[in-house]
Chain A
Amino acid sequence: MLEGFHDVAWLARTRAEGDVAAWLALIPYARRIGVGAAPDPQGEGLIFRLAPEEGNVGNVLLPALHGGVVAAFMETAATLDLMLAAREPRLPRIVDFAIDYLRTARVAPTYARCALLREGRRLANVHVSAWQASEAEPVATARLHFVLATLEGDA
């Protein structure tokens, strides 16, 4: 079977190794918009990065990034961060997503940090903040709910 998120052994192994790059390799849309991740130099978690690619522009007059692309970046960050931070290897499925746009996202590198506010037996709540020049001045914040699927050995 093709390796992937449904493969519990693969998910457990990549998670133990913190191999977020292996996860991103299986997410074509995240690759298209240029999502990357690196360890947070000031903590234990990850800082996610959205590349300022020409294809991510949503307003050519300003110019500014497409708000929907920023949203997709933040959803990707929340999903991967949750897979890494959860108590056990589980596959999150998004239930709903809410984003507030606070400032114009210029065509510049965009960063995101996630906080797992609650991890229940079936549901998780993740908060995401995205910024460009300064983390103290976010361009957007988002809140996501996920259902956490328990992986079967033969799934």
Chain B
Amino acid sequence: MNQREPAEANAAVSAEAWQRALTRFVTVIPHTRGLGLEVVAVDPPEVLLRLPWHDDLLGDAARGLVHGGVLTMLLDTACGSSVLCALPSPEVCPTLDLRVDHYRPAVAGQPLWVRARALRVTASMVFTEGTLWQASAERPVARGIGNFVRLGARNTPPGFARALFAEEDDHA
């Protein structure tokens, strides 16, 4: 089921190192840092993220429903995280396009879980998919398909990989 092919070049980096690196990634992004997004597990090219409940996530306060845009934002972040751990070395990869299907409403009071994986890496693109749920992974709330552009090493700032894998002590 899992397509391991994209991750082979990164095999030297352990799952734990990737979890720390992607935790750093979502913590550096002001929007996801503000919401307290957590990287629960990384098994390249797959990531599992969790967003704790916060009342700001509501899109309909009276009925207690999550804003659909929160789900899009989470799928974009999770798919983008899966891209990083699928590449031979980390590159900046902006989202080219994203498609989200809303299966059922997400409800107030429960964390949001999202699992995403890179399906295919080419010289210019990374193709990804993600699934989002609350109470049970068997009852998905939304599913996303995102395509990301590889800008390549030349357009990736020097020190990008080093910043992701920096020692923990500068994190305190």
**Interface, chain A (partner B; CB < 8 A):** 2-7, 26-32, 54-61, 66-69, 71-73, 75-76, 93-101, 104
CA distance A73 to B69 in the complex (A): 7
CA distance A17 to B70 in the complex (A): 28
| B126 CB to nearest chain A CB (Å) | 14
Which stretch from B10-18, B40-48, B59-67, B82-90 is at the chain A interface? B59-67
CB <8 Å contact, A29 and B57:
yes
| B78 CB to nearest chain A CB (Å) | 10
CB <8 Å contact, A98 and B98:
yes
**Is B167 located at the chain interface by the 8 A CB criterion?**
no
Which parts of B67-111 form the interface with A (CB within 8 Å)?
A: 67-70, 72-77, 92, 94-102, 105
Chain A residues with CB under 8 A of B98:
67, 71, 98-99, 101
Contact of B68 among A6, A94, A99 (CB under 8 A): A94
**Interface, chain B (partner A; CB < 8 A):** 28-32, 34, 55-63, 66-70, 72-77, 92, 94-102, 105, 157, 160
Contact of B74 among A59, A68, A73 (CB under 8 A): A68
Give 16 pairs: A residue, B residue, CB < 8 Å, sorted on A: A4-B62, A5-B63, A28-B58, A29-B59, A58-B30, A61-B157, A68-B31, A68-B72, A71-B72, A71-B73, A75-B67, A76-B67, A94-B68, A96-B102, A97-B99, A101-B96
CB <8 Å contact, A28 and B94:
no
Chain B residues with CB under 8 A of A57:
29-31
Chain B residues with CB under 8 A of A94:
68, 102
| A9 CB to nearest chain B CB (Å) | 14
Total number of residue pairs linking A and B with CB closer than 8 Å: 132
Contact of A75 among B32, B72, B99 (CB under 8 A): B72
* Beyond known contacts A58-B32, A60-B28, A61-B92: 5 more, CB 8 A cutoff: A57-B30, A58-B30, A66-B73, A68-B69, A75-B72
Contact of B76 among A5, A60, A67 (CB under 8 A): A67
Chain B residues with CB under 8 A of A76:
59, 67, 69
CB <8 Å contact, A27 and B58:
yes
Chain A residues with CB under 8 A of B68:
72, 75, 94, 97
Q: A55-B34, A101-B95, A101-B97 are in contact. Are A28 and B69 (CB under 8 A)?
A: no
CB <8 Å contact, B99 and A26:
no
Q: A28-B55, A97-B72 are in contact. Are A69 and B31 (CB under 8 A)?
A: yes
CB <8 Å contact, B62 and A3:
yes
CB <8 Å contact, B67 and A29:
yes
Contact of A72 among B29, B32, B34, B69 (CB under 8 A): B69
CB <8 Å contact, A30 and B31:
no
Q: A57-B29, A72-B69 are in contact. Are A100 and B96 (CB under 8 A)?
A: yes
